[in-house]
Structure 1
Amino acid sequence: MFDFLPFAEVVRLSGAPLRQVIAQVRFGGQSMLGTYEGAAVVHEALADHYPRFLTEQQQVVTMTATGASSELLPQYRLTDLDGAWSIVIGREHLTLETTRYATWTSFRQRLEAALTAVEDITNIRVRERVGLRYINHIEPDDHGLFSQKVQPELLGPAVDMGWRRHLNTMISQVIAEDGEMQLLLRYGLAADPSNLSAPYLIDVDCAKVQPRTFSLRETLNDFDALNDVSYRCFCWCVPEAYRKQLASAVDD
């Protein structure tokens, strides 16, 4: 998929600029997951890793020919004690979030455990969408520039200090499609660009959007494919020399 993206050997980037990783499966409505009792059963199966069980509200907006309407639906968040890992359960989705990503293998294991716990108490027939998102914040060099850390194709005017000092907003988005897979890349200086210490955003959001019969094995295989595309996209966005710096960084 997306053969124009370069092949890159998968190595652990100890100094990766990752801020958050999000995986989501959307499926046909499951009434059991919309209740406290149902979510509590899932929590019981996963409580060793996610001891906290919180109730939230999700606002759902529906657009029709006569206008828009909205309703609040309950959803449930399972987290570890410091909130670094979370599972969010709703009637039509399961979402795994972390700010402490280490390797795809460990992330995938947590995702499989969460989906298995949900599958044990539901009868999911249709998988509507799977998505995987990596949000990176790349810090500038001592001069507030990114020319050694971000490919020039993405920098535009931000490569020039004259522009850099006076930028008000610089955020771009591109969407590419290959068969059933969609790749969305957001990049730029989204937060206070005139601040020379502001980081550069590289937000890689990859998804399969074609509805299909739910299969746990196929869903995990699709996530493997999404992860492969996401990693190769990140490698396209940053120079190889910078990736080597990230790979050799000392863990905190």
Structure 2
Amino acid sequence: MSEHSTIAVGWDVGGWNCDNNRDSRDALVIVDAHGELLGQPWRGNLRHVINEAASTAEFLAKIFDHCRLANGFSANSVTIAIDAPLCFPASLIALLTEGRIERSLGDSATNPYLYRFTERRLATPQNVPLSAVKDMIGSQSSKAIHARAKFAPTIQSLGVWSDGGTARFIETYPAACRRRTAGIEELVLSGLTGHNDIIDAGVCALIAHRFATAPRTLEPPPAEAPAIEGWIWLPTDRTV
């Protein structure tokens, strides 16, 4: 059995039925505690893995197998950074479940039905984050939320979900990482090439690695961030 103490996984999420989508599919990149590539990047559809895995350990084992890691590969700690919203806006949830309305609604970028607190904080006139509600990423988001709820159901802290043992799930956003850290692709993995999904998964892997090994280099959620909405983890600085 090949065992590592700490590994980081980047998951760029495709839609539930992305098998024939040439432009967007699931992609995985795995790195070790030193930020070095483990196995091989993978691109395809994780739907069957998500559906068939009966436990977090089985889910991780299937991911490791997809990335050509040795049979029986395991780790004591696995951080998975995911490029998809892991929660929906609290105001939208309250509207749908309680009929509670917001008394004042701003424009698109500040509308709490469309954007979470963490997304509204990122919005600028030039760059508005994608919304799981309005920007046709609902399939990717529901897929990621389903996997998070199935394999990491416990809130460890705001924006961090755990299986109570080995695995932690967090959310990141490669486009925003690029705006925070110029040339981030050069910092990910030397020689990492392939489809843009693979490159985005590499950015996610970098964030997962930093969360596991240097969490102070990521911006933490402020006290007023709603726990129900999660948090997008991004670099705080311009270098790693």
Fold equivalence (TM over 0.5) = no
Higher share in strand: 1
How does the TM-score come out when normalised to structure 1?
0.26
Largest Rg, 1 or 2: 1
How does the TM-score come out when normalised to structure 2?
0.27
